[in-house]
Amino acid sequence: MRAEARIGFILLLTPLVLWLGLLIVIPHIDMLMISLRERISFGVYEPSLMQYDKALTEPLYLRTFWRTAVMSVLATAITLLIAFPVSYYIAKMARGRLQQVLFMLCLIPFYVSELVRTFGWMILLRETGLISNLLQWAGLADQPVEMLYNDAAMMVGLVYTSMLFMVVPLVTTLESLDDSVVEAGYDLGGNGLSVLREIIIPHAMPGIVSGCIVVFMLSLGNYLTPTMLGGKDSLWFTEMIYNQFIVRSNWELGAAFGFMLLVLSSVIVWGMLRLTGRTLQETMG
Amino acid sequence: MTPDLECVDLVKRFGDTTAVNDVSFSVPPGSFFSILGPSGCGKTTIMRMIAGFLEPTSGDIRIKGGTVLDTPPNKRPVNMVFQHLALFPMMTIADNIGYGLRRQCMAKAQIARKVDEALDRIGLPGIGARKVDELSGGQKQRVAIARCMVLEPDVLLLDEPLGALDLKLREHMKIELKALQAAFDTTFVYITHDQSEALVMSDQIAVMNAGRFEQVGTGQDLYYRPDTPFVAGFIGEANRWTGRIDRVEGATLEMRTDTGLAMRATAAQPLSKGDAAEIFVRPEAVHLAANAEALAQFENRMRGRVTSLLFNGAASRVLVQDDAGETLEVTLPQTGEFASLKRGDRVHIGWGAAQAMCFAGAA
């Protein structure tokens, strides 16, 4: 019986170990090794910190790195601001069927691929697009308006893509808030703002933090949206990684970029948890 | 003296259903007023209207003489202790109690002093830094009351706050609540479906049924002099017979039950010969005896057989089946006289006409 239980345990554990090992640990170790070497000539490599040196001194690389970080944080903040009232409405104000329908409406855009969704935005925002034509028809613009290929368009795309991942954890935590606790907040003299600040937000904090972490990571690692909606100036760090690996075949620098992104996301997530005084265990558990 | 709380012709309809139907009452300052009724009778609706979470369809609510209909819940001089207390789990006990004071923009030092005073008052000094989930049920209860009382409301509303507690603690909290009410000297309006909570604590009780007040009075009034058959059946236990009135002699009357027994009772409302009627007799009003002579002074006498003994300490009962086949509940005297009573024993039972209340029955 004991031996059988052990075999069962091993069988259950194997896929996890294989997945972690083959897809995450081994490639990352390999990436780290690649990033820490320098190509001397064909097939000849030497250990070196040159790639990191290059990445941290070249202004374009550094600027893109920080821009990506700041824009991702901004996208996360905007997503939170939009998703919070939506989630509150779904979780606390909507009842029965309406609640289910609204939740489904948040989910439906995700039935199609991200590529198709992004093309949807391009159809709306391009020079000959729907909004441009509408503005001309209404007499608000006298020539076609180009709304694509800038930071605003990219931000719209990022927020739209991440919305669901913020709404789901928020709805879940807000649903667990007892209505009478909110009523007690008002009954004891609180107004909308103080009830929100002292009762609703502290209660929703686990959902806010986990939603923010997921959205931030998704934005930081997004490739499609910044490439398609962003302009010349909206270079995203993932695009640079792609360029190094695929266009320039410079795996060494690409691997170094990859590691910088990993460190960046870890540091920001850690900072976010520190700032809100939560542990990863509390947030994910 | 202006009553602390006054409801005038209060009506609340939800669509086609009338939850509260033309209810009027007033609560004098410093008293403990209970609204007692089965679940779904509309008592919580009344409370939510007083607190301001629901708007009455018509009627008026006045606190210390002034109408509060246009005052939002956060500005009303009433506070509410919720059914599940609704303490704020994200705050410490001190922050919970200080929440309302912070809303009044009171200075921090003064809030701290008031919170400490309140904790002393409820007999839990020094627990301010603890979290809500570290407290026991009874402690939470007291904190919930303190959280409202620091705001010195004109009226404190309590919505079945003892419902979640276990029996022993509930008994204890009944006495404690009454003591707290005396200590804070504030008007309490208490909602419950548990008659013993209402009877023990209240100065005045309103019995509510299907959106209406059946009777308002002291516990004794409701128990000994119920106005309606609903009150007689709802407050305390009662044996009940239905039948038709045979004879009327002033306040005393005789009814022929559906099973053919003749019974004498006191009319609780005017009745005349031939009316359908209902008689209520409390189990403790029925006397047990071994022979018929001992019951000679009672107007109603019967013989029966013990079908069951329901032992419950001081509240023990005997089920007696009379010769007509109906079962009565009789309180078992704890004087030792009937200690050897057992199933199947023949007994004599009797009760006075003054202890039997007769109401008009459904025709």
| Whether B99 and A183 lie within 8 Å, measured CB to CB | no
Residue numbers in A near B51 (CB within 8 A): 183, 187
Q: What is the pLDDT of residue B61?
A: 93
| Whether A187 and B73 lie within 8 Å, measured CB to CB | yes
Extract the tokens encoding A115: 């590529």
The 10s digit of each residue's pLDDT in A156-177 is 999 998 999 999 999 999 999 9
pLDDT tier, A107 (very low <50, low <70, confident <90, very high otherwise): confident
Q: What is the pLDDT of residue A174?
A: 94
Residue numbers in B near A187 (CB within 8 A): 51-53, 73-74, 79-80
Q: In chain A, which residue's Cα lies nearest the Cα of B149?
A: A188
Q: Is A202 on the interface with B (CB under 8 A)?
A: yes
Cβ contacts below 8 Å, chain A against chain B, sum to 63
pLDDT tier, A101 (very low <50, low <70, confident <90, very high otherwise): very high
pLDDT lower than 50: segments of chain B: none
| Whether B148 and A198 lie within 8 Å, measured CB to CB | no
* pLDDT over 90 (residue A86): yes
Residue numbers in B near A194 (CB within 8 A): 102-103
| Whether B82 and A188 lie within 8 Å, measured CB to CB | no
pLDDT tier, A141 (very low <50, low <70, confident <90, very high otherwise): confident
Q: What is the pLDDT of residue A280?
A: 65
> Rounded distance, CA A146 to CA A131, Å?
10
- Residue A203, number of CB atoms within 10 A of its CB: 20
CA distances B219 to B156, B207, B236, B268, Å, are 21, 10, 11, 17
> Rounded distance, CA A115 to CA A124, Å?
14
Q: Is A193 on the interface with B (CB under 8 A)?
A: no
| Whether A189 and B104 lie within 8 Å, measured CB to CB | yes
Distance of CA A192 to the CA centre of its chain: 30
The 10s digit of each residue's pLDDT in A175-216 is 999 999 999 999 998 888 999 999 999 999 989 999 999 999
Q: What is the pLDDT of residue A276?
A: 80
Place of tokens 């995450």: A24
Residue numbers in B near A197 (CB within 8 A): none
Q: With contact defined as beta carbons under 8 Å apart, do B63 and B76 qualify?
A: yes
The amino acid at A41: S
Give the side-chain half-sphere CA count within 13 A for A145.
17
ipTM of the complex model: 0.78
Higher-pLDDT residue of A115 and A40 is A115
**pTM, entire model:** 0.79
Strand partners, B58: B11
Q: Is B39 on the interface with A (CB under 8 A)?
A: no
Q: Which of the residue ranges A34-48, A91-105, A196-210, B3-17 would you say has the lowest mean pLDDT?
A: A34-48
B47, B80, B105: best to mutate for the A interface, most A CBs within 10 A: B80
Place of tokens 């979780």: A91
CA torsion sign for B320, B326, B331, B333 is negative
Q: What is the pLDDT of residue B182?
A: 86
DSSP state of B82: B
| Whether A181 and B74 lie within 8 Å, measured CB to CB | no
Q: What is the pLDDT of residue A282?
A: 63
| Whether B104 and A194 lie within 8 Å, measured CB to CB | no
> Rounded distance, CA B306 to CA B341, Å?
8
Q: With contact defined as beta carbons under 8 Å apart, do B265 and B357 qualify?
A: yes
A187, A198, A201, A205: best to mutate for the B interface, most B CBs within 10 A: A187
Residue numbers in B near A199 (CB within 8 A): 88, 90
Extract the tokens encoding A23: 């897809």
Residue numbers in B near A180 (CB within 8 A): 82-84, 86
Facing B147 at nearest CB: one of A180, A188, A199: A188
Q: What is the pLDDT of residue A283?
A: 61
Q: What is the pLDDT of residue B51?
A: 92
Q: What is the pLDDT of residue A284?
A: 58
Q: What is the pLDDT of residue B363?
A: 53
Q: Is B91 on the interface with A (CB under 8 A)?
A: yes
Q: What is the pLDDT of residue B174?
A: 87
pLDDT tier, A131 (very low <50, low <70, confident <90, very high otherwise): confident
CA distances A265 to A218, A262, A271, Å, are 10, 5, 10
